[in-house]
Amino acid sequence: MLVGNPTARTGKAARSIDRALTGMAGVGLEPEFFATLPNGATVAALADRLEREDVARVVYLGGDGTFAESAKGIILARERSGVDVPLGMLPMGTANDQGRSFGISAGIRALETNIQTIVEGCEQWLDVGRIEALDANGEVERSDLWFDNCGFGLSARILAQRNRDRERVQKLPLVNMLYRDKLVYAGAAFSELFRSMVGGPHGSLFSCEVVVDGEVVEWVGLTDLAINGTILYGGEWIFVDDAKADDGKFEVLPFRSHADWVTAAIGSHKKNPVTGDDLEVVGLRGRDFRRGGQIDIRLFRPSGAAEIPAQIDGEEFVSADRYRIDNLFHHLRIIVPENAHWI
């Protein structure tokens, strides 16, 4: 079952879908196409289709959003009827954390190689995150699943601005062909960084109390708090070099001040040869973090400050002052290269 959105990327996705269907048929995979649906209807509709029990695997083609919808459909079908299939990847997105964390490149040029990976059928477990936003009484306001990372603060604000910019750009002929993908994100990042620094620290910094598997830690003066599930963050950064996607643990990462945010972006780039062990040799500490499977977060913002934005897998999530995050151990089977490694 090939899941994709034929209207994505101003129609270019339709051509990619056609090539994928042809390539899959050429190696005997007998593909059937399933078009994503608007307004969140994909998950339930895909689960309904899987419960007919004639699908061997689901393959997504697209970005992080299509990955998430396909994975949630698989999980819903398993929870409702016990039908369980693995998820294969034909990523087309820019970050591609899931694919790159296991050696799967994105784009049309990687299509043939990625189809061959699906043919070979090597599977690996993936831990899944469940996030619950809690109200003042501790009641669940909203719950969702995530597969890559979630976060609170400046990075979530940048993603929200990126989404607004992307919506505006898509309405402008010619401009939408040039100012897209990483350029839109870079523009939003620069805009939000500048706005937060000019506006002063009180409107952008926050504090938190985090309980990680029973250990209580307090962090003050943060721009960001990130919880990461895969080794790669944003497709380019490795904040914890021994992170694993299937160990029942997430990494909880605080970012203090704008300088720390920028330093982390430079020092933790995946092509940076300096490791945590190297830092210890010269007497410097690596990035502060906690690791665990059950995480309770309380956020504290200055009086009168705006709500702290939140994101899951690069999309906006409801803002709250308290969240509960659980690692759902080995909750999704994914198809990866036999020699899986990050790229």
The predicted-structure confidence for 201-242, as pLDDT tens digits, reads as follows: 445 799 999 999 999 999 999 999 999 999 998 778 899 989
Task: Kindly report the average pLDDT of the chain as a whole number.
Answer: 87
User: Which tokens is 124 given?
Assistant: 């690996």
Q: Where are the beta strands (DSSP E) in the chain?
A: 2-4, 33-35, 58-62, 87-91, 123-134, 140-146, 149-153, 206-212, 215-228, 250-256, 290-292, 294-300, 310-312, 315-317, 322-335
pLDDT band of residue 280 (cuts 50, 70, 90) is low
User: Which tokens is 32 given?
Assistant: 């059937």
pLDDT band of residue 304 (cuts 50, 70, 90) is confident
User: Which tokens is 249 given?
Assistant: 């643990």
Q: How far apart are CA 222 and CA 202, in angstroms?
A: 11
Q: Dmax of the chain from CA atoms?
A: 61
User: Which tokens is 253 given?
Assistant: 């990462």
Q: What is residue 193's predicted lDDT score, i.e. its pLDDT? A: 53
Distance from the Cα of residue 245 to its chain's centroid: 12
Q: Residue 235 CB: number of other CB atoms within 10 A?
A: 20
136-172 residues labelled b (16+ CB within 10 A) or e (exposed): eeeeeeeebbbbbbbbbbbbbbbbbbbbebbeebeee
Q: What is residue 165's predicted lDDT score, i.e. its pLDDT? A: 60
The predicted-structure confidence for 128-180, as pLDDT tens digits, reads as follows: 999 999 999 999 999 999 999 999 998 888 887 767 666 665 554 443 443 34
Name the one residue in this structure whose structure tokens are 């994975």.
71
**Cβ-based neighbours of 66, under 8 Å, separated by 6 or more:** 3, 4, 5, 36, 60
Q: What is residue 188's predicted lDDT score, i.e. its pLDDT? A: 44
Q: What is residue 178's predicted lDDT score, i.e. its pLDDT? A: 38
User: What pTM was computed for the model?
Assistant: 0.88
Q: Give, for 118, the enclosing helix (H) or strand (E).
A: helix 111-120
**Cβ-based neighbours of 278, under 8 Å, separated by 6 or more:** none
The predicted-structure confidence for 100-129, as pLDDT tens digits, reads as follows: 999 999 999 999 999 999 999 999 999 999
User: Which tokens is 25 given?
Assistant: 């048929």
Q: What is residue 177's predicted lDDT score, i.e. its pLDDT? A: 40
Q: Do 317 and 144 form a contact (C-beta atoms < 8 A)?
A: yes
> The domain 2-121: what is its CATH number?
3.40.50.10330
What value does the CA radius of gyration of the chain take, rounded to a whole number of Å? 20
Q: Where in the chain are the domains?
A: 2-121, 130-328
CATH class in words for 130-328? mainly beta
